[in-house]
Amino acid sequence: MNTAASSSSSSNASSNLIGIAPARLALHHSRKRVNQVALILSMAAMAFGLVWLIWILIETVRLGLGGMNLALFTEMTPPPQAEVGGLANAIFGSLLMVGLAT
C-alpha cells in the first residue's frame, strides 16, 4: 500500500473539498446547513415527546401505588357496582393461557 495515498485519505474533509467546483461546494455547504437544522429539529421533537412520556410514567406510578395492596392480587374480580375486589382470576387466567401455550 502506498503511504502517500493512505496519508492523503486520512486528511480532514475540508482538504478533500479543495478541488471541487465553487457551485458544488456551495451546494455541499447548503446541504450541511439543512442537515444541521433537520438534526436539531428532530432532536427537539424527540425531547418534547420524551418529556410527555416520562410525565405519563411518573403520574401512572404515583397515582397507581395507592391502589396496590395484597387484596388486589388475592381477591376475585368483583361484580359490577362493587366497591372492593381484586384480580386473582385474571392473573390465574393469564398464567393458565401462558402455561397452555408453552
End-to-end C-alpha distance for the chain, whole angstroms: 58
Evaluate whether 79 touches 93 at the Cβ level (below 8 Å). Answer: no
**Mean pLDDT, residues 57-74:** 89
Spans of all domains in the chain: 12-67, 69-102
Region for 81 from its dihedrals, namely left if φ exceeds 0, alpha if ψ lies in -120 to 50, beta otherwise: left
| Cα gap 49→100, rounded to integer Å | 39
Q: pLDDT band for 12, please (50, 70, 90 cuts).
A: low
Which grid coordinates are listed for 50? Answer: 420524551
Which amino acid appears at position 78 of this protein?
Answer: P
- Residue with the bigger pLDDT between 4 and 30: it is 30
